[in-house]
Structure 1
Amino acid sequence: MTLIEDTRARLGAVGAWLPSAPLAPPPDVERAATRRLADAGYRSIWSGEGPGSREVLAHFGDLLASVPDVVLGTGIANVWSRPGRTAEKGGATLAHAHPGRFVLGIGIGHAFQATKYGADYRPLEQMRGYLSEMDATAAESPPAIAFPRVLAAIGPRMLELARDHADGAHPFAQPVSHTPYAREILGPDKLLIPQQAVVPGTREDARAHVRRSVAQLREHRAQAYLAGWERLGYTRADIDGPSDRFVDDLVLWGDGKTIAERLGELLDAGADHVLLTPYAASFDSIVDLLADLAPEVTR
């Protein structure tokens, strides 16, 4: 069995994507949440890192040791947080200690993050160089246990990079229509692990959350998301409205049964493993909603 085949088997259909773990709450809060979601049936738990969050590789070392029967994935480990050689060795260390239970998701982030580190923002070129540094490190010190790496890829060129120099892609905040688009570029032999927003409520509930999300992306000038949506055929009016069509494609909303049916559409369209994130005001609320959805979506 290849690494990708083994990873698909371990991941199953559905996982959970949680916000980056903040520094303030005690770590046992997230240990308990990870345990709860694993017990509920989610086959993987993912989170990343951002301003004020824990360093994700050290954090995952704690979680992997504390919850020994679930796969964990970084969504994402930001390239501005560590050199490529450190990401490779960190991933290899976790994979060696916890075989088959770690997926390294990496991403180039946004222009404002590059500016913070005094760098220009050339995402494709910088991501390619980062992967080359990881490859060179792995060649010098081959990992004892192979582990998959997936890229935060939305547009065609980053998806091609994920296809040619990684084990697949982990798209974030994309409409359902992005999944067949990404699968066509990746081909059948790479992992496709999209994060998917869910709202256990009405379309108007979902619309309110989409409106806030769009405003935040514009505030942070996260152009990759906005450009990606337009590439898929959504107009500025669709996005800023937001239109029914855009809301219905960006968010799985409704009751648990309806959300599970829409989740099936993503899997049928080519996703290997879908990571669900409810829109909610707090970390605890997100975990509660995921636990409530589990009986329908993890069957």
Structure 2
Amino acid sequence: MTLIEDTRARLGAIGAWLPSAPLDPPPDVERAATRRLAELGYRSIWSGEASGPRELFAQFGDLLASVPDVVLGAGIANVWARPGRTAAKGAITLARAHPGRFVLGVGVGHAFQAAKQGEPYRPVDRMRAYLAEMATVVAENPVPMAFPRVLAAVGPKMLALSRDHADGAHPFAQPVSHTPYAREILGPDKLLIPQQTMLLGGREDAREHVRRGIAQSREHQVRAYLAGWKRLGYTEADIDGPSDRLVDDLVLWGDAPTIAKRLGELRDAGADHELLTPSAATFESTVDVLAELAPEVLR
């Protein structure tokens, strides 16, 4: 069995994606939440590079040691946070200590993050160089890179890089129409692990969530998400609204059976493993919503 086949089998259909910032829970709260979701049947639990003082690989080492029998995913380890060689060594260390339980998501972040480092923002070039730097660690050591790498990929060039130089893609904040688009570029033999926001409520609640996200993206000049939506056919008018079509495609809203049905449609469109992020105000309420959904979505 190949690494990708083994990862697919371990991940199953549904995982949870927990916001690390600005919620940033204390370590004991995060451990308890991870254990609770694993016991409910979520096959993987992901979180990203928080803006606080915690370091991602140390955080995941603590969680992997504290909560057995669940896959943990980094969504994502930001390339501006550490050199590629350091990321490779950290991932290899976790993979050797906890075989089959760690997926490394790597992302190039956004222009404002590059600017803080005094660097130009050339995402594809930066990611290609970063992956090459990671590969030098493997070339210099007999230890195999026994963990899957997925890239935070939205556009066609980063998806192609995910196909050619990694094990797949982990798209974030994209509408449901992105899944078949990404699968076509990746082909059948790479992992496709999209993050999907959901909300137990109505369309107007979902619209407010989308409106806040668009405002934050524009405030921080996060162009990749907006450009990705336009690439898929959503217009400036859709985004300014936001329109019913964009809202319905960005947020799976409704009751638990409705959300479960739409998740099945995403799997049919090419997703290997879907990561659910509830639209919730606190870390604790995020976990509570995932627990409420579990009987329906984890069938």
Say whether residues 1:73 and 2:83 are aligned partners. Answer: no
Structure 1, residues 9-63: CA drift from partner, whole Å, max 9, x if none? 0000000000116797431100000001111111000001132252111000000
Q: Is the 8 A contact 1:44 1:71 kept in 2?
A: yes
Cα separation, 1, equivalents of 2:142 and 2:102 = 17
**Aligned-pair RMSD on alpha carbons?**
1.2
Q: Is the 8 A contact 1:199 1:252 kept in 2?
A: yes
CA shift, 1:283, in A, is: 0.7
**For the structure 1 residues 72 and 24, does the alpha-carbon distance in structure 2 shift closer, same or farther, using more than 3 Å as the test?**
closer
Q: TM-score, normalised by structure 2?
A: 0.98
Q: Is the 8 A contact 1:199 1:278 kept in 2?
A: yes
Structure 1, residues 46-103: CA drift from partner, whole Å, max 9, x if none? 0011322521110000000000110000000000000000110100000000000000
Cα separation, 2, equivalents of 1:99 and 1:196 = 27
CA shift, 1:269, in A, is: 0.3
Cα separation, 2, equivalents of 1:53 and 1:238 = 37
CA shift, 1:211, in A, is: 0.6
Q: Is the 8 A contact 2:138 2:144 kept in 1?
A: no
**Secondary structure of the equivalent of 1:115?**
helix
User: Unpaired runs of 5+ in structure 2?
Assistant: none
Counting aligned pairs with the same residue, the percent is 78
**For the structure 1 residues 261 and 24, does the alpha-carbon distance in structure 2 shift closer, same or farther, using more than 3 Å as the test?**
closer
**Equivalent AA in structure 2 for residue 193 of structure 1:** I
Runs of 4+ aligned residues of structure 1 deviating over 4 Å after TM superposition are 21-25
**Equivalent AA in structure 2 for residue 235 of structure 1:** T
Partner of 1:32: 32
Cα separation, 1, equivalents of 2:264 and 2:101 = 24
Cα separation, 2, equivalents of 1:189 and 1:26 = 38
Structure 1, residues 266-292: CA drift from partner, whole Å, max 9, x if none? 100000000000111111111110110
Cα separation, 2, equivalents of 1:24 and 1:277 = 15
Cα separation, 2, equivalents of 1:118 and 1:138 = 29
User: Unpaired runs of 5+ in structure 1?
Assistant: none
Q: Superposed, which structure 2 residues align to 1:280-295 within 5 Å?
A: 280-295=280-295
**Secondary structure of the equivalent of 1:20?**
coil
Partner of 1:139: 139
Partner of 1:99: 99
